[in-house]
Structure 1
């Protein structure tokens, strides 16, 4: 097995710290020896999530995501290991026998981000959240020696739905939910708020389910910490100044850090 360059792991950490500071802080509570490997899987997840913002047309985005799936399946060029995130990721996958199929599913799921097609139903939304949010937490759990438990799936659904709610209302809101409430994603009115409130309740329910399931985890609970900030965002939806066309305002960094610290101390997610 070819080991990744230490500088490439350092690059993953820097990327995480710059692009998602809450996620980087959550990783600090993991054991030091495991931290670099967790940085690698999250750096990969961020690289895939950021593709849409870096391209001018969907085809270019699909090519970028295909590069990642080729790298994971061993079909990319020999120069793949020159990419710092790919080098660290491939090393981590080999060390911990991470499920390559699941990592490929994450890249495939982000293809939907490149287009403006409305998500058809809640079931499709859940599949997206399982691939993009639950997957990385489950891999982090494996790195920490945790069994593959329901807690990771529930936490991923809570985190994934909350990430969608943080954005301005758009194509990710399931069409069947909009139809149920007679809502329009372009009109800030009671029907749209009702549809989004149903998603909020779904995220809250999944969060509570994750908290209950996490009690059975004797190892690797730190992998669930990215979900600890979910309640802070959901509470923002209840405020009078919440505008679904603009998305959620950020809770203060201090409040988010306090939630992470409290969860890490064992007081609950």
Structure 2
């Protein structure tokens, strides 16, 4: 089991626990000295995800992303995440190029749609996959392990995308690839109007298979010191098996699966 968190969580840990409980759980299995850096990284990712969620129009999302790009490139600002992020970058705790890749990937969310399966895969490799790479680098992963972490992170991203179709539809958004939708006689507007329609099920299953391909690309043991960066994929694998079923909250089985993988009993 990971070391128990202190009764007084840091502000960053509290933010991640509230907004990204999956990654909060997996970060607890990181070496204690690196844990706060992971919370900072995951808090930064949450801010990037919010850029489009809270923007009333795409251009405002791009402005928010540019604000974060300037922080990563050296502009120091007073903000609960930007302040510590600047300090971590100055200290070399986080890799600037990793964070810029994540920002660039998020720009796809400001587009009217994701045009193709290839673009969708690239988007997930840069966002959820890029986050896993950045986490692995914090934990000291070797280059060959980083490649596998990108695939595992992208697999978790696929599962998250498929689980979030109804939530995105309520925002008037759809991030599923247009060419895959078109092959099944659907459009992004049809998904937004009826995200639970039976006709969407074959699309979700086809895209879940893409997630399994990412999992296969990341298969293998990850060094114990780096393992926390790979653990979201454990939850992604379980979610991919449940695509098409009613969305349920995390349960004991999910937590036990993460624990087993963290202990090296099961692989991601």
**In which range does the TM-score fall when normalised by the shorter chain?**
0.7 to 0.9
Aligned: 1:203 with 2:199:
no
TM-score (norm 2): 0.83
Q: What does 1:1-269 align with in structure 2 at a 5 Å threshold? A: 10-74=10-74, 76=75, 78=76, 80=77, 82-96=78-92, 98-115=94-111, 117-148=112-143, 149=145, 150-168=147-165, 171-185=174-188, 186=190, 188-190=197-199, 192-212=200-220, 215=221, 217=223, 219-239=225-245, 242=246, 249-266=247-264, 267-269=266-268
C-alpha displacement of 1:154: 1.2
1:220 to 1:95, Cα distance in 2 relative to 1, 3 A: farther
C-alpha displacement of 1:194: 1.6
Aligned residues: 245
Say if 2:204 and 2:244, in contact at 8 Å, map to a contact too: no
1:216 to 1:168, Cα distance in 2 relative to 1, 3 A: closer
Q: Root-mean-square deviation (CA), in Å?
A: 2.2
1:216 to 1:261, Cα distance in 2 relative to 1, 3 A: closer
Say if 2:156 and 2:237, in contact at 8 Å, map to a contact too: no
C-alpha displacement of 1:124: 0.8
Structure 1 unmatched runs, 5+: 1-8, 243-248
Decide which moves more: 257-266 or 85-94.
85-94
**Separation (CA, whole Å) in 1 of partners of 2:249 and 2:215:** 18
Structure 2 unmatched runs, 5+: 1-8, 167-172
Deviations 1:195-242 (A, max 9, x none): 221111111222233232xx2646412211121101221222254xx5
